[in-house]
Every structure is written in C-alpha cells, then in structure tokens.
Structure 1
C-alpha cells in the first residue's frame, strides 16, 4: 500500500472518529430505509429514545407513513413517549389509519399528550363495537366509522401495551396477565378502561359500570372496579358489591377497595385525590 493511500485511509478514519454524531445519524437513517420492517421499527424506537430534538421528531413522524403497520404503530407510541405535542396534528391523521392497531396507537399517544381526539376509538375498543341502540355510545356517523374498521383488528390491538398497564397499576403479576389475555382482546379492553379512567366524567362512569357488569375478562372487571373507585360515586357501590363474591381475587379485592374509597367522607376523599365532582359532591 502506497504512503499516499495510507494517508487517505487514515484521514477518512480520523474524520469518522471526529464526527461520531454524524455517523450515528447515518446508521439510524440507513436502518429507517431498510427493506426489513423489523430494522425500521428498531430504528424508530432508538430514535424515539433520543428525545425531543427536532430531527428525531421529524424522523419518527415520517415513520407514521411507513408501509408496515407495526412500524407506524411503533412511531405513534414513540411520539407519545417523547411527549411530542408538536406531533399532535400528525397523530390525528393516523386515527383514520386502515390498521386498527395503528389507529389505537395514535389514540393512546394523543391521550398521553392531553388530546382526547381518539376517545371514540378507545370507547369502541372497550365495548367491542357494541351496537349503539342501547344508548351506551351512539351516532350514525360513528356507526359508519366502525364498519370501516376491521373488527378483528379492533379486538386484537394493544396487547403489549395493556400487559404493561396490568403489570403496573393492577399488580396482577405475569401469570395473571397471561390468563387475563387468553381471550385475545382482553389486553386492549383493559388498556381502554385504564385510559378512560383518567377522564372522570359521566360518560366514563357509564362505560366503567357497563364494563364491570358485562365484561367476562377478570382483568377488565378489575380495571373497571379500580376506575369506578376513582371516578364513580355512591350510586356505583351497589354495582361494585356484586364483585365481592367474584371467583377471581383481583376482581374481589379491587371491588372492595373501590367501595371503601367511594365511602370516604369529603375530607378523606380530598386527601386521596378523589375528584369531588365524580364523587358526587
């Protein structure tokens, strides 16, 4: 190898070492355009971990238009984790994504960012496209939107995210979580209950009471009981009492805790952060 060539090679190597950030971005951008969707998804996750830099946000938003629905779903989730409020308009467009998983991921990300645009979708996941003739959730336009979505996808979305929700707020443990999700859609319904319970209004209370009374999945019932403890009022207590004889310990225990919380006096409610309006005061 000639001395001149050695100098050129060394100069190139030194240049790369002197610009590690530039090299790192090139690696990530290359992975984002890879033919393998798993590589693209991993790149989106990695870029999301960088945080709220302009370039990171732009690249993750761009991934919302990826051909692969899992990549799009990952991008939506990352924007929520990044707390990227500037991405709210981009996420709103994904509420109409043909993939139910992507639409739900966008709705969840928006919810985390304080935007409730995806509430209808979250409610639909909880009720399992329940017919609106019962007055629970209604509207001809909403019915039409539901029919456009794939019912199977709507039922199956959100499994991994819901697993995390269960292992945190409800402390059911891994075995219990696996049992809870045997019906396939239990995870997404549980996550929907968890999200809705962050918004304590009359519609939320109705949905939580409906889920507690009608859902056969113990994790959903336990989540609904916990939500009623936070958002319900004394009128919810008779409904919760049925859970005291439930065959599953999680439902029984959470029902008992909810009843106790709803029975607190005003001073006690304030000390535990009970929403006074929801508490019927």
Structure 2
C-alpha cells in the first residue's frame, strides 16, 4: 500500500480488523520501518545543552566566525571576519575575502588581534579541523619566541590597580555563570538526554550542509543506516563506523542519531504483549 504513517494506517485497519492495543502496535511498526526511517528522517531533540567553560580573563578564550557573501567594497572585500572575546564580549569586525584560506585569516588575526591582545588560550570556530590546524601553524610561525625582559619594580599604585582588576574579573565571571545557568535551563526545555554505548547500531540523519550529494533532491532519502557506534567523544557526540564513500567526518551530534531497532522483531514483539 505504501508508507502513509500511523494515522492513515490505523484508519485503513479500522475498516477491517481489530485487536487490543492496536494503536500501540501500529506506532511500533511504523517507528521500525526501514523505508520510513530513511525517507522521513529528521533532527531529533536529543542531547542536553553543554555550555563552554567560562573564561577567567579577557582575550584568553575567543570565538571566530565569518559573515560571507556581502556586496564587494572598492578594495574587493566581500566578507567579514568576526572575532569575539568570550569573557568581555568585545568584538572585532575585520574585512576579508570569501576565498581567504587559513594562512590569510591567520595574517589578519595576527595584525588586528594578537598585536593588541596577545595569543589566546582557546579558539571556538565552526571551521573544520584542517582549517584550524593550518591557522594555528601559521600563527605560531609569525611569533617572535625570544624571552621578553621582566621588570621587577612594582609600585604600590600598580599593585592596587591589579587587585581591582582581579576583583572586577571575578565579578564578571560570576555574572557569566549565572547567565549561563539561566540559558542552560531555557535551552534544555523540550530536549531529552540520550546516550549510546560502544557497539550500538544507530540511524544517521543527513543534514543538507554536511551531505549535499545525498540531499540534492527531495526524493532522495533523508537518512541512512544502521551504523555502529565506535567511540563516545562526549555526552553529545559519537564516532561511528561510517564508510569512506561519504567523505565526511565520522563524528556526529546526538541530535542526528536514533537508536536502531532490529526490524526482524516486527512480527513477534508487538503482538506478544498485546495478548492476541
């Protein structure tokens, strides 16, 4: 007949058949349908919000992103390189080109950020691992690694200012903690904690931006599987035994994963508990 979902299947069965707990059995049957899982896959509300560690001081932990595809300026720049200090929320908007690679971005970062604030301790970005690796290598190659002279003279006024700055930083950190806790509570509404074990089999949802070839048409499946869990990266990320033909990272967010139920049990399990 086709794959019409729970409602239409129940409506068709209602005209001809009856057994106890029929709705429950139909729901289980449709949930385990391999064809439906591939064609109707979607992002699940799986995984709890995991906030980043709160920085201790300004410009030690930053984030960077790009605004692409803007109208060209007279100098030919069509994008913006955005750098944000995660402690103070101070932001730099640096003009750049959409085609800039990790080397060019590292040069801009050194010119506008390192020159004023030094080298950060961590960088958060949605760019891939290769990009960040080349970025860091270029950045370190540009640094003068000679030891800087130390000034041993400490004035009382300078010490008082340093103490004031430390107190200010502690106050800001406490505010960030409270705000993060409020955001975490709000972000976790409607979400549920889901975990998998190494060796489990899961379905994978194909996001358009990550699997453009597999989602190039509306008629193509939105998911695939099952794939085996190889390792647990953290509470919200797992590494799968993904075939090399997909040519993407094998690490997936838990919101793209759904537990695989063996379809061989469809003819027995739902009806054993139903009584008839």
TM range (shorter): under 0.3
TM-score (norm 1): 0.22
Bigger CA radius of gyration: 2
Greater per-residue helix proportion: 1
TM-score (norm 2): 0.22
